[in-house]
Every structure is written in structure tokens, then in C-alpha cells.
């Protein structure tokens, strides 16, 4: 297509608007208007950012607005990502322009200001006017400063504009996050310089001049910054020899190096194990075919999945395509980067929210230009603008960190499968404890199951011992956090010079109601999820259906009366440990102790160097690091995760326990795991004992089917937030009535859906906001989206007038 017959563009604006819009392109901008570039467009009398999605050849339509500018000299993303953005917008109910905006590196939004240029007529006028006139001063400022921001009020210039003396223009302020530019110095006349150095000519006055020139000639280009730090008179010398024409300078974009320090990656193995080879044979075949497919790599912790990832990436790169490797957390992505960078060097780019805006921008542009072949990162790496995507690896695919809990509320693993399908790529989902959803997909034949059931070198899985914390009949509960068994094990481990990890799950809720006698969480009779304690009216409430109960009720499982809240933090645990083992070196790793940048990494590094004997921590310590000296893992309160008001509580408990257990005995010595629990017979806990994923899965999938939870349904979670409880509650009821009304009009499809609530949320005054919620279950996700769009349209003005904010969450992970 030539620029002559291109007249229109389809553009997504970065505003909360679902539709896309057609704009005309002025001829002068046409060659620069490429798909994937950002533009500035007029919109309701404002200038806003937009993204070019499509070029439309059309006869000139009168009245069509013209784009105002093309911001980017090169596209920010390849065109094949557009259907993916469109899918994201539709599925996760978020406007497309904002989906793209949130995918791109932050800090790109330009600020606009006014400038003026003097016209021929204005020049003449300036010549005529006496120079002391106010007008004359203003005009001459404009003449001297074309394109500069105007400081005087625009009203002053209006008469000039009317007379045709000046043209007023919008300009864009330089973006905050741009490429990092640095000055380099290089030699212009190499032969000449060498001759000069040989002659030791008189012009080499300063005593370090020879050293300086030799330094410059030591490489093709030298950073000016380096020269000024190595030579105190470096700037003077550089300028002197540039004036003489011997040196020249250039300003170039450089990449910031965000590479983390590396926790000494393991050496490249000489030979793959049989189970790795078998998995790779299948993976290579898929890559060679070049079509879409998904493999679920079910490899127990320590089975060597990382090596499989590496060979899969290598094969993809060799076939001319590119890869994304996602890890659930930034720290883990950094760890992976260390391994991959040591083998692939600069073909690796890293992309996650832990980078500064500038770093993110640099990495993004490198990827968009095709300068990097493997992108490693957390959730947001899914949007890496690789032009030839062939492979997406989702490590620890079961991890709920793949779900973003702010808009757009995407699940990066699920979305990865969609992106791969659109780009005919292979997806590898790796886990030692696959999600119920992914495993069910493999059972249904949608995903290819690749199993790696053995640890490398046939190292045995750790021995898991479950300690019953439930007091014997008629006795009182054990005092304190540690059971005698765990205390003894820690002591022995210390004496043997080995390391211990102590894990305490402490996510979110501080007041969980667990029966102190039988240890069972108090569940809703309808929904089988744990009830949540509401402080305000001291009641236990089901967050799904609204069932309520008093806190002084008898335990529904054992009849014990006297339910009490349960829970303590990692800090308390750390103090207890220090008290019991004063000679041990103890450290704690949780969100509080690692809030400063790089802190988590430091702790891990110290642990890795055996400067710490006992590491106490939350979820953060359970993820894939490899510490060979850890031979004991203690789980302090396995029940805490069972008590989450969530249908995935059992799944999470099993996953967390298995992952934690996997940290033990990764070296040559066999590991031990001690799990303290009030519920030794719960299937999610007892299955850990035998490392029995299948036993756990069979039980869990049966319960899900019975209660109609995912993967047998799709959920949408509607959360309402407002400053007034009355208004928020009214809005929630209004919305629920509306939804039921709509469903009533859909006789057939309406029956496939179920509306639960509205229910008041727990942290009902979180950040000063009252929260209400509604849960919708549906067999079919597209009907659910249809319903939600309808609901949103109908309730918009009502919500606005009552000051209540609505959040719609597809496939929610946090429902409280």
C-alpha cells in the first residue's frame, strides 16, 4: 500500500472507552503512521494518546478528524499482537486502549504544551514596530525561540494569531522514560594519531596526554564518562583533540544493564537424563511443526525442568523464532536470568515491574526491534513485543501470582495460551504441582502431559512427617508455636551443620476461625468455603452466598464450643526461634523484611553462602531456589491456608506444602519435612505425605464438579466500593436485581448461570472504602461476558450518581 491511497486509521485511544475510532491522516504524516505506533489525536476537544491498530483504505470521508501527530519513529509492538490485545480487552472487560497502555512500559504519556512560530508577515511587523514596545519584545522572543514553551498567557498572542503574524502549535514534552543517551569519543584520524604518538610532538603538553590518547585508541569508542573519571583533565583533553580534528564525539543510545547479581548458576550439564530427553523429543517436534500446542511439563521439584526449558529455548532460537520465559515472581525471574544469560549472553532481555521506567523502556524497544531473542520476566513479560514469537514457557504455572489484581485483571498463564494460539507458538506450562485446571486440561486431551517423576540422580524425595497438633481427647492444646518433634529436628540439623527453612503461611487474613479441638476451619454449609470473620458485628459470613453465623456457635464438625481466632506472624516465630536456638544464625524473609529493593536477593545470597542457619519466612521462601544444604523444612501451621475463604483453599494448601517440601534435600543428603497441622486427615495435607498428586487431584476434581466450581464453570466477581456503606449496599442490591432481571429474560441461557450475593466484603473499610460483592457462576464464559457488558451499560449512570465504583473480575483469584 502506498501512502497516497491511505486515508484512514483505526485507533484505540488510551481512555476508558471500549470502541475504537477512525481518523484521517494528513499526507505529511502518512509515511510515519505505522501500525503499532502511538499517535496524538483530538478527542472531545482534548488531545489524547492513541495506538494505530489498522490502516483502512477508504475514500476521503468529509468530517473525519485528522490525527495530530505520530509520536513514535518506530512501532511499539508488532501487528500480530493486535488480535491478542483485542481478546484481552473483551475477555477481561477492559477498554482496549487501556489494555495496550498498561502493556507498554510506563512513563510514556506525553504532556502537551503550546509553542509559536513567527510568520513572514510577523517578521515584517517586527521590523516596523518600535523595539521598546511590549508587542515587539514578545514577537522577538518568538523569533529567537521557535518551538519553545510559551510563558506568557495565550490570550496575549491571540491578536497576533488573528493578524497572521504567528502560528501557534501544540508540542509534546520530552517523555520521562526514553532511551539513555551517552556521549562517546573515538579517533577520527587513526594513522595521524599514531604518527603523532611516535613523534612525541610538542603539542602533547599535559603530562598524561599520551596516556589519554592511548586510552582512547584502545577501543573503537570510549564512553566520555569513563574518560573523565579516569583522567581528571579528561574533558579538557577530549575537547582539545576534537578541536584539532583528531578525535570525534558521538551521542548514542545505550542500554542500562538491569542484570541482577547472579546466584552462581549451576554448570551446564554434560548430558540430559532420560526423562528430560523424552520431554524434549516431544517439545522439539512441536517446535519443528510450528503450530500451536500446549504441553504440561509435570516434573517434581528437582527433576530438572530448567534444563528442559533451556533446550526448548535453544531449539526455538535455532529455528529462527523467539521465546518468552515467565516466572511467578521478580526474584525468580532474576534467578532464571542468571542461568540463561550465562549461556545465551545478550540475546536475553529481562522485563518486569521491578525495573525502573527507563530500564523497562530500553528493554521494550530492544525487544520490539528484534534485538533480543529470549525475554525473561514475571507476569508482564507476556506482552513482550517479540516479532517472531515461537515459544512461551510458564514456570510454576500453578502460581496465583500470574493473576493480576489490578486492571486489566488478566491471568498471564491463561492469556499466554491464547497469545500462543494466535501466533502459532508452543506453550510449556511447567510445575511440580500442576493447577487443577491445567491438569484437567491434560486429562481432557487439550494439553499434552509430559511427566518427569524422578529427581535428578534419583535423589529420593524428602521424607514428610505430619505432626498432629490436635490435643488428645480431654487434653488442652499444645502451648507455643513449635511441637517438640520440630524443635528436636531443628536442633539436630543445626548440630549437623545443615540449614533449615521454616515456613509460615500468613497471607491476608489475621483472624481465621479454626476449631481448636478438631482443627477444621468453619465452612459454609452451601459453598464449602471457609467462613470469614467480620469484626464489626462479630459474625462469621460466607463470602460467596452471604450465609451468616454467630462466632459463639458450636463447631459444625465436632460439636466443640469455644471457637477462637487463630494465627501469629513470622516475626513472632523468628523471636521464638532465636530464643530456643541462641547460637543459630537466624533470618526472616517476608514482605516486611524485604520491602526495600534488593533486600530479598541479599537474604537469599547470604543463605546460599551459608551465612544463615535458619531462614524463617512466608511464601517467598517456597519458590524454586536451589539450596543444597537445606535438609530440614518445617511447616509451622499447614491449616492456615485451608482456612482461606476460597474454593481453591485445598488446592493451594497442597501446592504450598509440596513446594515447601521440595526445598528439602536438593543436595546429596536426603531431606526431611515436618508439617504441623490440626487436620492430619484432610486430603490436601495427607496427600503431601506420599507426594501423591493424583490422590489429591481425584478428590479435588470430584468436589469441584459437585459444587460447580472451575474448571467446571467460569466465575465473575463483581466488587463495589464506596465511601458510604448505605450507598454501596444499595448499589450492590440494585446491581444484583438488575443481573437477575436480565437473566430472567434469557429463559434458556439464564438457567446456566447462578448469582450469589450481594454480600458485604470482609475488609469492609479497607482504605476507608466500604465493599460489597456479587459472585456469578456460568458454564459459558462468552455468555458471562455478554451479561457483564449489559450490566455495566445499564448501571453506569446509577453507579456514577451514587459515587460507587464497580470492579469486574473475570476468573477471579481473590474473592474477599
* Binding region for Zn ion (CB under 5 A): 524, 526-527, 542, 544-545, 547
SS (H, E, C) 170-191: EEECCCCCCCEEEEEEEECCHH
For 49, the grid coordinates are 494518546
Least Å from the CB of residue 658 to ligand ADP = 11
Least Å from the CB of residue 707 to Zn ion = 10
Query: Is residue 551 within 8 Å of residue 539, measured between CB atoms?
Result: yes
Q: Say which entry of Zn ion, ligand ADP, none residue 299 contacts (CB below 5 to 8 A, set by partner kind).
A: ligand ADP
Q: Say which entry of ligand ADP, Zn ion, none residue 456 contacts (CB below 5 to 8 A, set by partner kind).
A: ligand ADP
In this chain, which stretch among 270-278, 314-322, 549-557, 699-707 interacts with ligand ADP, using CB under 6 A?
Answer: 270-278
Query: Is residue 577 within 8 Å of residue 586, measured between CB atoms?
Result: yes
Of 202, 200, 237, 232, give the one whose Cα is nearest residue 216.
Answer: 237
Which CB sits closer to ligand ADP, 307 or 590? 307
Q: Does 273 bind ligand ADP (CB under 6 A)?
A: yes
- E strand residue ranges, 499-657: 499-503, 512-514, 532-534, 539-541, 548-550, 564-566, 586-589, 614-617, 630-635
Residue 634 to residue 619: CA distance in whole angstroms: 13
Least Å from the CB of residue 709 to Zn ion = 12
Residue 276 to residue 279: CA distance in whole angstroms: 5
Q: Say which entry of Zn ion, ligand ADP, none residue 304 contacts (CB below 5 to 8 A, set by partner kind).
A: ligand ADP
Least Å from the CB of residue 759 to Zn ion = 9
Count other Cβ atoms within 10 Å, centred on residue 42. 14
Residue 389 to residue 426: CA distance in whole angstroms: 9
Q: What are the backbone dihedrals phi and psi of residue 690, each rounded to the nearest 5 degrees, phi first?
A: -100, 10
Q: Return the SS3 of 506.
A: coil
Q: Does 303 bind ligand ADP (CB under 6 A)?
A: yes
Residue that has been written with the C-alpha cell 493451594 in this structure = 652
For 323, the grid coordinates are 521465546
Which CB sits closer to Zn ion, 532 or 622? 532
Which CB sits closer to ligand ADP, 260 or 764? 260
Q: Interaction with ligand ADP in 428-457: which residues (CB under 6 A)?
A: 456
Q: Does 338 bind ligand ADP (CB under 6 A)?
A: no
Q: Say which entry of Zn ion, ligand ADP, none residue 69 contacts (CB below 5 to 8 A, set by partner kind).
A: none
Q: Say which entry of ligand ADP, Zn ion, none residue 273 contacts (CB below 5 to 8 A, set by partner kind).
A: ligand ADP
Cis-peptide into 711, omega within 30 deg: yes
DSSP type of residue 134: H
Q: Say which entry of Zn ion, ligand ADP, none residue 545 contacts (CB below 5 to 8 A, set by partner kind).
A: Zn ion
- Return the percent helix, strand and coil in the chain, to nearest 5: 35, 25, 40
Which CB sits closer to Zn ion, 244 or 740? 740
Least Å from the CB of residue 375 to ligand ADP = 19
Q: Which helix (H) or strand (E) holds 309?
A: helix 305-318
Of 735, 722, 716, give the one whose Cα is nearest residue 809.
Answer: 716
Q: Does 363 bind ligand ADP (CB under 6 A)?
A: no
Q: How far from 66 is each of 24, 74, 507, 578, 719, CA to CA, in Å? A: 4, 20, 51, 69, 39
Least Å from the CB of residue 739 to Zn ion = 18
In this chain, which stretch among 21-29, 167-175, 298-306, 634-642 interacts with ligand ADP, using CB under 6 A?
Answer: 298-306
Instruction: Report how many residues bind ligand ADP under the rule CB under 6 A.
Output: 17
Which CB sits closer to Zn ion, 383 or 544? 544
Q: Which residues pair with 21 in a beta bridge?
A: 11
Least Å from the CB of residue 602 to ligand ADP = 22
Q: Say which entry of Zn ion, ligand ADP, none residue 547 contacts (CB below 5 to 8 A, set by partner kind).
A: Zn ion
Q: How far from 732 is each of 736, 771, 772, 774, 778, CA to CA, in Å? A: 6, 9, 6, 7, 19
Q: Does 129 bind ligand ADP (CB under 6 A)?
A: no
Q: Say which entry of Zn ion, ligand ADP, none residue 542 contacts (CB below 5 to 8 A, set by partner kind).
A: Zn ion
What does the DSSP assignment read for 375-431? EEESGGGGG---TTEEEEEEETTT-GGGB-SSSS--BHHHHHHHHHHHTT-EEEEEE
Residue 237 to residue 499: CA distance in whole angstroms: 56
For 253, the grid coordinates are 543510545
Of 94, 215, 284, 305, which lies in the binding site for ligand ADP, with binding defined by CB under 6 A?
Answer: 305
Q: Does 307 bind ligand ADP (CB under 6 A)?
A: yes
Which CB sits closer to Zn ion, 524 or 577? 524
What does the DSSP assignment read for 216-235? HHTSS-EEHHHHHHH-TTHH
Q: Does 302 bind ligand ADP (CB under 6 A)?
A: yes
Residue 399 to residue 417: CA distance in whole angstroms: 15
In this chain, which stretch among 47-55, 299-307, 369-377, 568-576 interacts with ligand ADP, using CB under 6 A?
Answer: 299-307
Query: Is residue 757 within 8 Å of residue 708, measured between CB atoms?
Result: no
Least Å from the CB of residue 395 to ligand ADP = 8
In this chain, which stretch among 304-312, 344-352, 544-552, 726-734 interacts with ligand ADP, using CB under 6 A?
Answer: 304-312
How close are the terminal C-alpha atoms of the chain, in Å?
53
Which CB sits closer to ligand ADP, 342 or 468? 342
Q: 383-398 burial, b for 16+ CB within 10 Å, e for fewer?
A: bbbbbbbbbbbbbbbb
Stated length of the chain = 816
Q: What are the backbone dihedrals phi and psi of residue 307, each rounded to the nearest 5 degrees, phi first?
A: -65, -35
Least Å from the CB of residue 651 to Zn ion = 18
Q: Interaction with ligand ADP in 456-485: which residues (CB under 6 A)?
A: 456
Q: Does 266 bind ligand ADP (CB under 6 A)?
A: yes
Per-residue interface string for the shown chain with ligand ADP, residues 598-637, x marking contact by CB under 6 A: --------------------------x-x-----------
Which CB sits closer to Zn ion, 314 or 528? 528
Which CB sits closer to ligand ADP, 212 or 627? 627
Q: Say which entry of ligand ADP, Zn ion, none residue 87 contacts (CB below 5 to 8 A, set by partner kind).
A: none
Residue 470 to residue 785: CA distance in whole angstroms: 46
Q: Say which entry of Zn ion, ligand ADP, none residue 524 contacts (CB below 5 to 8 A, set by partner kind).
A: Zn ion
For 252, the grid coordinates are 548514542
Q: Does 299 bind ligand ADP (CB under 6 A)?
A: yes
Q: 344-357 burial, b for 16+ CB within 10 Å, e for fewer?
A: beebbbbbbebbee
Distance of CA 291 to the CA centre of its chain: 27
Which CB sits closer to ligand ADP, 29 or 456? 456
Q: Interaction with ligand ADP in 732-761: which residues (CB under 6 A)?
A: none
Q: Does 677 bind ligand ADP (CB under 6 A)?
A: no
Q: How far from 248 is each of 207, 221, 225, CA to CA, in Å? A: 22, 10, 15
Which CB sits closer to Zn ion, 212 or 647? 647
In this chain, which stretch among 1-9, 266-274, 527-535, 598-606 interacts with ligand ADP, using CB under 6 A?
Answer: 266-274
Which CB sits closer to Zn ion, 14 or 545? 545
Which CB sits closer to Zn ion, 544 or 734? 544
Q: Does 322 bind ligand ADP (CB under 6 A)?
A: no
Least Å from the CB of residue 288 to ligand ADP = 22
For 459, the grid coordinates are 535423589
Least Å from the CB of residue 452 to ligand ADP = 7
Q: Does 398 bind ligand ADP (CB under 6 A)?
A: no
Which CB sits closer to Zn ion, 282 or 548? 548
Least Å from the CB of residue 465 to Zn ion = 35
- Binding residues (CB under 6 A) for ligand ADP: these are 266, 269, 271-273, 276, 299, 301-307, 456, 624, 626
Amino acid at each position: 500500500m502506498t501512502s497516497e491511497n491511505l486515508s484512514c486509521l483505526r485507533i484505540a485511544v488510551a481512555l476508558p472507552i471500549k470502541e475504537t475510532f477512525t481518523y484521517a491522516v494528513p499526507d505529511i504524516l502518512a509515511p510515519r503512521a505505522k501500525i503499532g505506533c502511538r499517535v496524538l489525536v483530538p478527542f472531545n476537544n482534548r488531545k489524547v494518546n492513541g495506538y494505530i491498530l489498522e490502516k483502512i483504505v477508504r475514500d476521503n470521508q468529509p468530517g473525519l478528524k485528522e490525527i495530530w501527530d505520530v509520536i513514535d519513529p518506530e512501532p511499539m509492538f508488532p501487528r500480530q499482537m493486535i488480535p491478542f490485545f483485542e481478546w484481552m480487552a473483551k475477555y477481561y472487560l477492559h477498554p482496549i486502549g487501556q489494555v495496550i497502555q498498561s502493556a507498554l512500559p510506563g512513563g510514556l504519556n506525553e504532556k502537551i504544551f503550546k509553542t509559536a512560530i513567527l510568520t513572514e508577515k510577523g517578521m515584517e511587523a517586527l521590523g516596523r514596530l518600535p523595539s521598546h514596545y511590549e508587542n515587539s519584545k514578545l514577537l522577538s522572543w518568538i523569533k529567537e525561540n521557535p518551538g519553545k514553551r510559551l510563558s506568557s498567557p495565550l490570550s496575549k498572542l491571540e491578536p497576533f494569531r488573528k493578524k497572521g503574524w504567528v502560528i501557534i502549535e501544540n508540542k509534546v514534552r520530552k517523555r520521562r522514560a526514553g532511551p539513555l543517551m551517552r556521549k562517546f569519543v573515538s579517533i577520527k584520524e587513526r594513522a595521524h594519531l599514531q604518527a603523532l604518538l611516535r613523534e612525541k610532538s610538542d603539542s602533547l603538553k599535559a603530562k598524561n596526554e599520551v596516556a589519554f590518547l592511548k586510552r582512547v585508541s584502545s577501543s573503537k569508542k570510549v564512553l566520555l564518562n569513563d574518560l573523565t573519571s579516569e583522567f581528571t583533565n579528561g574533558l579538557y583533553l577530549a575537547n582539545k583533540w576534537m578541536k584539532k580534528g583528531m578525535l570525534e564525539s558521538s551521542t548514542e543510545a545505550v542500554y542500562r544493564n538491569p542484570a541482577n547479581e547472579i546466584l552462581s548458576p549451576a554448570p551446564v550439564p554434560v548430558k540430559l537424563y532420560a526423562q528430560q530427553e523424552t520431554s524434549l523429543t516431544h517439545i522439539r517436534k512441536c517446535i519443528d511443526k510450528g503450530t500451536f500446542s500446549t504441553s504440561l511439563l509435570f516434573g517434581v521439584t528437582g527433576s530438572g525442568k530448567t534444563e528442559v526449558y533451556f533446550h526448548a529455548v535453544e531449539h526455538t532460537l535455532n529455528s529462527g523464532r523467539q521465546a518468552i520465559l515467565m516466572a511467578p515472581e521478580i526474584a525468580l525471574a532474576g534467578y532464571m536470568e542468571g542461568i540463561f544469560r550465562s549461556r545465551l549472553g545478550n540475546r536475553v532481555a529481562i522485563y518486569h515491574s521491578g525495573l525502573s521506567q527507563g530500564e523497562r523502556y530500553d528493554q521494550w524497544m530492544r525487544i520490539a526491534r528484534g534485538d533480543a531473542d529470549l525475554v525473561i520476566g514475571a507476569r508482564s513479560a507476556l506482552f513482550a513485543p517479540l516479532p517472531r514469537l515461537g515459544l512461551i514457557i510458564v514456570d510454576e504455572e500453578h502460581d496465583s501470582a500470574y493473576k493480576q489484581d489490578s486492571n486489566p485483571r488478566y491471568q498471564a498463564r491463561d492469556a499466554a495460551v491464547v497469545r500462543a494460539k494466535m501466533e502459532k507458538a508452543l506453550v510449556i506450562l511447567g510445575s511440580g504441582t500442576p493447577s487443577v485446571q491445567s491438569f484437567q486440561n491434560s486429562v481432557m486431551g487439550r494439553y499434552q502431559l509430559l511427566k518427569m517423576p524422578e529427581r535428578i540422580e534419583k535423589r529420593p524425595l524428602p521424607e514428610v512427617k505430619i505432626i498432629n497438633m490436635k490435643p488428645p481427647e480431654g487434653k488442652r492444646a499444645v502451648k507455643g508455636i513449635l511441637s517438640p518433634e520440630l524443635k528436636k529436628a531443628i536442633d539436630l540439623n543445626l548440630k549437623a551443620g545443615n540449614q533449615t527453612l521454616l515456613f509460615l503461611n500468613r497471607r491476608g487474613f489475621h483472624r481465621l476461625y479454626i476449631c481448636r479441638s478438631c482443627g477444621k476451619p468453619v465452612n459454609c454449609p452451601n459453598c464449602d468455603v471457609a467462613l470469614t470473620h467480620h469484626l464489626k458485628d462479630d459474625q462469621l459470613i460466607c463470602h460467596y452466598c452471604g450465609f451468616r453465623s454467630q462466632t459463639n456457635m458450636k463447631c459444625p464438625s465436632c460439636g466443640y464450643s469455644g471457637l477462637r481466632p487463630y494465627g501469629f506472624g513470622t516475626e513472632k516465630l523468628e523471636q521464638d526461634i532465636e530464643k530456643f536456638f541462641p547460637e543459630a544464625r537466624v533470618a526472616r524473609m517476608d514482605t516486611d523484611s524485604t520491602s526495600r529493593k534488593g533486600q530479598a536477593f541479599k537474604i537469599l545470597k547470604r543463605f546460599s553462602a551459608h551465612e544463615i542457619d535458619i531462614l524463617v519466612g512466608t511464601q517467598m521462601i517456597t519458590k524454586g531456589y536451589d539450596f543444597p544444604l537445606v535438609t530440614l523444612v518445617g511447616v509451622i501451621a499447614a491449616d492456615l491456608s485451608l482456612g482461606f475463604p476460597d474454593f481453591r483453599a485445598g488446592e493451594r494448601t497442597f501446592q504450598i506444602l509440596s513446594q515447601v517440601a521440595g526445598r528439602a534435600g536438593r543436595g546429596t543428603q536426603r531431606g526431611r519435612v515436618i508439617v504441623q497441622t490440626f487436620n492430619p486427615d484432610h486430603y490436601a495435607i495427607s496427600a503431601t505425605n506420599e507426594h501423591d498428586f493424583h490422590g489429591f487431584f481425584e478428590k479435588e476434581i470430584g468436589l469441584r464438579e459437585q459444587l460447580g466450581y472451575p474448571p467446571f464453570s467460569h466465575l465473575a466477581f463483581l466488587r463495589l466500593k464506596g465511601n458510604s456503606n448505605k450507598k454501596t449496599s444499595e448499589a450492590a442490591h440494585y446491581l444484583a436485581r438488575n443481573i437477575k432481571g436480565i437473566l430472567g429474560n434469557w429463559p434458556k441461557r439464564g438457567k446456566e448461570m447462578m448469582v450469589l450475593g450481594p454480600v458485604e466484603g470482609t475488609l469492609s473499610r479497607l482504605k476507608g472504602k466500604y465493599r460489597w460483592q456479587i459472585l456469578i457462576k456460568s458454564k459459558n464464559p462468552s455468555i458471562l461476558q455478554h451479561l457483564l457488558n449489559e450490566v455495566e451499560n445499564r448501571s453506569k449512570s446509577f453507579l456514577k450518581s451514587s459515587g460507587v465504583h464497580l470492579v469486574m473480575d473475570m476468573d477471579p483469584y481473590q474473592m474477599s
